[in-house]
Structure 1
Amino acid sequence: MSEETPVSLRIVRAVATREGIDPAELRPPLHDVVDTDALEALFADPERAGTVEFTYRGYDVAVERSGDVRVTDADLASNVTTSPSSSPSQDVVEN
């Protein structure tokens, strides 16, 4: 994943897209909610497996070992997924 968009940036973009705002407008910033350096380190190691899940701005965020980022609004059961290797579509925010 070294040449791909950082996981933390994909999370911020996915949440901002859900809310229809610029990523810079998100409050609190992601780094106030989760240790973004640790998050990046977890996904930089190809030997690690698993999923990281946390809540941010009322969304359930899940980051899969593949690098896919899933943002779910539990109340509406709607999702936005980003994938480091796919092109933008209706469900994919960015690659």
Structure 2
Amino acid sequence: MRRMCLGIPGEVVELSAERADLATVEVVGVRRVVNIGLLGPGEIGTGDWVLVHVGFAMSKIDEAEAAATLEMLRGLGQAYTDELVALADSDIT
């Protein structure tokens, strides 16, 4: 069975004081450290929304886009649930 890989919107809740390429992001109540190094320096701040995939923030999105994407992902059922489980189990620190 092939597993679908999704990008999930998350809100940046904290920037790492020790590493400029790391931030804590909250996705549906789950907080994880993600790498924001693929985005431009200073582009991301607390309260911003990012699209997270395999521990990396892939792009910055606005809150409306984040809400619409989360709603669409919920409609995917098991693929969405699987991605949330993978996120909860991940740790890049």
Q: TM-score, normalised by structure 1?
A: 0.30
Q: Which has the higher contact order (CA 8 A, sep 6+)?
A: 2
